[in-house]
Amino acid sequence: MMKAAVLHEHGGPEVLKYEDAPRPEPKDDEVLVKVIAAGVNPVDTYVRQGMRSKSGTDNGPMIIGYDIAGIVEKTGAGITKFKVGDAVYAYLPIARGGGYAEFAIAKEGEMSLKPKNIDFEKAAAVPLAGTTAWQALIDTAKLERGQTVLIHGGSGGVGSFAVQIAKARGAKVIATASTANQDLLKQLGVDQPIDYTTTKFEDVVKEVDVVLNTVRGDTLRPSYGVVKKGGIIVSITDEPDPAECAKHGIRGSRLMAHPDARAIEELTKLIEANKITPIVSETFPLQDVAQAHQQMETHHTRGKIVLKIAQDPKG
């Protein structure tokens, strides 16, 4: 058995119960990871509330959590890339989850060796948000050196990785956040930070190559007019309006991120080259997972929040 935060029913943060659960056993193509830290993402709160019916609790108790960092405990017969004792991190698919627990299952295509220069808590902040930022800016927008990108929500989980990926790519970065997070935007290397509480971005931004929208609400509508012809809006929240995109001669794409070891390996290289530093603003013990969800649901988290599940055996 192991300790985990288990969902027996959908609802508010209080439905997450810290209790004993069966320890998973890896199949041939699976790796069992002893979890040291687990990242918390907005989607965790949606699944908890039952917004993703297929991954609901209808089939019995479930364990959510899609970001883990830990140590390989056991490998299935078909595993070739990882061995017992490896420090790893992984982006678990929504259909499986299992991260809020002392042990979790990952597949080779979802994981990478952990960057050597960061601890497990920082590593657990990376996979889902970092992969989303990578798939938005690099795989979808094909951001290039010298281009300009506007990032809505540059201080959040996805935004803080997106800013650093874009800077590492050699792009000029404009990003929005509230007054309290202007210092973080500057620390991340944003060239033109915008305080959305005092300045309308559409008044000061024009002719960008790429917009990355990580915010829900009214950021898309004024975005169409700030993109140069042939440019692109990638949104990870609301769907860009095809008619508006056509009117402005731009492309629009709504991205659904997915686990991809190749993206995590690229992130590992950038972290080890000190081009990306994960921003962890708060950590909670697994027992206090409900508090972590309350913070996530403010939609004003600075960087990432992480659950600490076990001690680093070497730290």
Ligand X SMILES: NC(=O)c1ccc[n+]([C@@H]2O[C@H](COP(=O)([O-])OP(=O)(O)OC[C@H]3O[C@@H](n4cnc5c(N)ncnc54)[C@H](OP(=O)(O)O)[C@@H]3O)[C@@H](O)[C@H]2O)c1
Coil/strand/helix, residue 81: coil
261 binds ligand X (CB under 6 A): no
Q: Which is nearer to ligand X, 73 or 238 (CB)?
A: 238
Residue 218 DSSP label: S
User: Which one of 57-65, 149-157, 164-172, 271-279 is the stretch in contact with ligand X (CB under 6 A)?
Assistant: 149-157
Are 118 and 157 within 8 A, CB to CB?
A: no
Least Å distance between CB 314 and ligand X?
29
Q: Which is nearer to ligand X, 87 or 264 (CB)?
A: 264
Coil/strand/helix, residue 244: helix
Of 48, 96, 167, 302, the one binding ligand X by CB under 6 A: 302
- Pick out residues in 61-120 that bind ligand X (CB under 6 A): none
User: Which one of 96-104, 113-121, 240-248, 254-262 is the stretch in contact with ligand X (CB under 6 A)?
Assistant: 254-262
Residue 287 CB contacts under 8 Å (≥ 6 apart), including other chains: 18
257 binds ligand X (CB under 6 A): yes
Of 72, 166, 236, 309, the one binding ligand X by CB under 6 A: 236
208 binds ligand X (CB under 6 A): no
Structural tokens at position 135: 């798939």
DSSP string, 9-64: S-SSGGGEEEEEEPPP---TTEEEEEEEEEEE-HHHHHHHHT-SGGGSGGGS-B--
281 binds ligand X (CB under 6 A): no
Are 279 and 160 within 8 A, CB to CB?
A: yes
Coil/strand/helix, residue 263: helix
Task: Give the residue closest to ligand X by C-beta.
Answer: 156
Binding site for ligand X (CB under 6 A): 41-43, 129, 132, 152-153, 155-159, 176-178, 180-181, 196, 214-217, 219, 236-237, 255-257, 299-302
